[in-house]
Chains A and B, each alone.
Chain A
Amino acid sequence: AQSVTQLDSQVPVFEEAPVELRCNYSSSVSVYLFWYVQYPNQGLQLLLKYLSGSTLVKGINGFEAEFNKSQTSFHLRKPSVHISDTAEYFCAVSEPQGAQKLVFGQGTRLTINP
């Protein structure tokens, strides 16, 4: 079974500052890794995913994440945040085979202050 831990439930950041949202996972098999964003009163939207290959993955809205197998981490970063980045961010894993159902972390609420 897999599990995902998002180390920070809330992250306040000033506009134009860099941000890192931390995610660690646990699994006995190889996994695919994802970051989703949920804006207020909306569904989940995929930011980026890691399936294989380069460990640095670039996504939408200027976000990127780095897969670190030895540390079982998949931290999300953005060099300069905007007010519009205020949202809840979810890290998730899935097994490569079968249903590929997503196992989510508890979420990190990112608040951008002017």
Chain B
Amino acid sequence: GAGVSQSPSNKVTEKGKDVELRCDPISGHTALYWYRQSLGQGLEFLIYFQGNSAPDKSGLPSDRFSAERTGGSVSTLTIQRTQQEDSAVYLCASSLEGWAGATYEQYFGPGTRLTVT
């Protein structure tokens, strides 16, 4: 079946502009994660959505970053007033619902490479 898809695959933007990154999770997966992969910081957790629960935003680096998940499926990560340090690969992952005692594999998308000039 189809895996996690992300769009665009590459995005070049000017400093100060807003960008939106999209993630389509695997159908039926209720958990969705965003991570960021950068040269300086490695792979970092950003935000987690699980069903109708309030998202875990503990990894968002600043209030310029926000994300939403509509209808329990597609998610959009928005970065406002982009800065050069936002340049990174943004990875989305989805999994079946997790609960205590069970861990389901997180399936990763190919990522969106964001370059802020």
Residues in B whose Cβ lies below 8 Å from that of A102: 33, 35, 43, 45, 106
Residues in B whose Cβ lies below 8 Å from that of A107: 42-43
Residues in A whose Cβ lies below 8 Å from that of B44: 104
Q: Confirm or deny: A26 has a beta carbon within 8 angstroms of a beta carbon on chain B.
A: no
- Interface-located stretch among A11-19, A40-48, A71-79: A40-48
Q: Confirm or deny: A32 has a beta carbon within 8 angstroms of a beta carbon on chain B.
A: yes
Q: Confirm or deny: B79 has a beta carbon within 8 angstroms of a beta carbon on chain A.
A: no
How many inter-chain contacts with C-beta < 8 Å in the A-B complex? 53
Number of interface residues of B (CB under 8 A): 24
Q: Is the CB of B48 within 8 A of A44?
A: no
| Closest chain A CB from B93 CB (angstroms) | 8
Q: Is the CB of A96 within 8 A of B103?
A: yes
Among B33, B43, B98, B106, chain A packs the most CB atoms within 10 A around the CB of B43
Q: Confirm or deny: B2 has a beta carbon within 8 angstroms of a beta carbon on chain A.
A: no
Other than the given A49-B103, A102-B35, A104-B43, 18 more pairs (CB < 8 A) read A36-B108, A41-B110, A43-B4, A43-B111, A44-B91, A46-B106, A92-B43, A99-B50, A99-B56, A100-B31, A100-B98, A100-B103, A101-B59, A102-B33, A102-B43, A102-B106, A103-B45, A106-B42
* Residues in chain A within 8 A of chain B (CB atoms): 32, 36, 41-46, 49, 51, 90, 92, 94, 96-107
Nearest 3 CB-CB pairings of A with B: A43-B108, A104-B43, A44-B108
